Amino acid sequence: MAPARFSAFELLLLKSRYPPDTASLLLLAWVYVSKRIALAEDQRYLEVLANGYRHSQDLDTLLEIARADLTAIQLAAEVVLRERVDEQAHPFLRRAIGLATSEGELSLRNHHILRFLSDLSGVTPGAFARLFREVTGRPLTPPGDPSRQDYWQQDEIAEPPPEESAEKHAENAPQPPQRPHHWQRWRLRIVSAHARRRESRLERDRLRQQARQRAEKRRQEEERLERERQAEAQRQEQARQADARRQDQERQAEDQRREQARQEEAYRQEQWRRQQWQQATGAPQPHYRVRLALQVLELEEHASPIEIKRAYRRLAQRHHPDRFHGQGDLRVSLASQRFQRIKNAYDYLMTTT
Amino acid sequence: MRDLYRRLGVAKDATPDTIVRAAERCNNRMLKADALSTLGNAAHREAYDDLHDLLGELGRLRAGLGMTHAPHWQGDAANDFSASPHRIVVRQELLTRQLEIALGRHQTRWRRRCWLAFAIVIGLIAAHIAGRWMS
């Protein structure tokens, strides 16, 4: 009997109020841990969620588990798979997408993890792309492939996007509240303080909007450049493939011609050698027409007239066109050609020998 | 994403020299260029290794969950990083079995302790009688 040693996540699951919530919280922690830049607001978001699921003191353990333990993630995925219905999957996926894209760009790790989560929730690729666009406002682009040369070349060409999070954090730093230095005029001071705070808030909003617009323009330009590059690369590849195909075809045609020429030469050489040998041995060769006629009548070299007659009768019976009368005009015409050839052969043989 | 280590026939922790030699040896032009640009550069190789680990984990996860032919797991990544489902365990069943074992042991603990106490008492009595018989 093995002692019952439950791992940290198994204990959490067993003690939790609603295991699917704990499991989805672990998966969101996994998404958070795989981000490139982890913002403070994401941490706060996770804390709020954990409070909602009554796991406020367990969030740190969950983050540790998400970093290290693959079996726990598998267990969480199994729980989500078996006990979550399709309609309830969309809020979970939305949260995951929002968490993954809060810094702007989706990291490669998170791209693959989100695909895994959408498969877990039974969401098709089209529905997932729609969800992504709803949550982020940007269309879903396929992940880059770091095992390809093009990925690294494009990385070198494109400028790195500027760090907007630094700007935002600088603007988010709270302005110090204005204290009344002389308490006789404290009302005026407070009113002016309110006005200043409102102005600073408006300025902050304006700067944030400008930064966002700039970032959007840069992203659009980058997307356009990428699309153009991809289109050019595709065209070049197609041109190369077409050239390769043409060259292959030409080579094949040349090979075939060479082979045919060789065969013909070999045949001619054989014929020449046979003539030479026969002339040397001295046996008088029958005329080629005679040989042809004997071949048509399917006879050997020296055939007596009786054999010729018998062969002619046999073949004429076999190939007479009236035998193929019901099988169509094509058969009849072919048979009549064969019959003519046989008849000519017999006539020739009868007249010459 | 393709598993360049497997396609070059090289271990994951190979030295850069091994990788360059393996890349020179291979006949496929595209694979050679990709391997040299990705695994030849140290920074690129780190990023590639990171994603390689993640995809291996995802492959094993999917095999354990029965999602090896899911709509999002297609292409080069699925071809190279899918795991065979033979050696994979279903964690939830393990957990429930462990739980049942623990629960069973918890429920029979008083009975087991009574038997243990009884056995100890019998042993003491036997020792006492043996001592009496010896002396």
- The answer to whether ipTM exceeds 0.85 is no
CB-closest option in B54, B62, B92 to A109: B54
Residues whose CB falls within 8 Å of the CB of residue A283, separated by 6 or more in sequence, listed in order: none
Instruction: Classify A246 as helix, strand or coil.
Output: helix
Superfamily of domain A288-352: DnaJ domain (1.10.287.110)
Residues whose CB falls within 8 Å of the CB of residue A107, separated by 6 or more in sequence, listed in order: A34, A35, A36, A100
CB A99 within 8 A of CB A109: no
Q: Is the pLDDT of residue A249 over 80?
A: yes
Q: Which of A36, A74, A128, A140 to mutate to test the interface with B (most CBs of B within 10 A)?
A: A74
Q: State chain A's mean pLDDT as an integer.
A: 86
Give the number of C-alpha atoms closer than 13 A to the C-alpha of residue B120, restricted to the C-beta side: 6
Residues whose CB falls within 8 Å of the CB of residue A301, separated by 6 or more in sequence, listed in order: A286, A291, A294
pLDDT in tens, A125-153: 999 999 999 998 888 888 888 888 888 88
Percent of chain B with pLDDT over 70: 98
Count of CB pairs separated by less than 8 Å, A with B:
100
Residue-by-residue DSSP string for A57-101: GGHHHHHHHHHH-HHHHHHHHHHHHHH--HHHHHHHHHHHHHHHT
pLDDT in tens, B22-61: 988 888 888 888 888 888 888 889 999 999 999 999 998 8
What are the extents of the domains in chain A?
8-142, 288-352
**Per-residue confidence at A166, pLDDT binned at 50, 70, 90?**
very low
Burial of A13 (0-12, 13-18, 19+ CB in 10 A): buried
Task: Using a CB–CB cutoff of 8 Å, tell me whether B55 touches chain A.
Answer: yes
User: CA A80 to CA B58: how far, in whole Å?
Assistant: 16
Average pLDDT over residues A50-69: 88
Average pLDDT over residues A239-244: 94
pLDDT in tens, A190-212: 888 888 899 999 999 999 999 99
Inter-chain touch A115–B72, beta carbons under 8 Å:
yes
Inter-chain touch B33–A149, beta carbons under 8 Å:
yes
pTM score: 0.55
**What's the pLDDT at A83?**
78
CB A293 within 8 A of CB A349: yes
Task: Using a CB–CB cutoff of 8 Å, tell me whether B129 touches chain A.
Answer: no
Structure tokens at A120: 């877990």
Average pLDDT over residues B8-26: 89
Q: What angle do CA B25, B28, B31 make, to 5 degrees?
A: 90
Cβ under 8 Å to A: B residues 63-92: 64-65, 67, 70-73, 76-77, 90-92
Q: Is the pLDDT of residue A174 over 80?
A: no
User: CA A141 to CA A94: how far, in whole Å?
Assistant: 17
More confident site: A261 or A3: A261
* Helical pair A59-68 and A8-15, crossing angle rounded to 10 deg: 140
Cβ under 8 Å to B: A residues 10-29: 10, 13-14
Q: Which of B19, B92, B103 to mutate to test the interface with A (most CBs of A within 10 A)?
A: B92
Residues whose CB falls within 8 Å of the CB of residue A78, separated by 6 or more in sequence, listed in order: B64, B65, B90, B91, B92
Place of tokens 């607001």: A41
CB B56 within 8 A of CB B81: yes
**Residue B44 corresponds to which amino acid?**
H
Distance (Å) from the alpha carbon of A74 to chain B's nearest alpha carbon? 6
More confident site: A156 or A10: A10
Give the number of C-alpha atoms closer than 13 A to the C-alpha of residue A149, restricted to the C-beta side: 11
pLDDT in tens, A115-132: 999 998 888 899 999 999
Inter-chain touch B71–A116, beta carbons under 8 Å:
no
Cβ under 8 Å to B: A residues 34-53: 34
* DSSP single-letter state for residue A107: P
Average pLDDT over residues A90-112: 89
More confident site: A31 or A182: A31
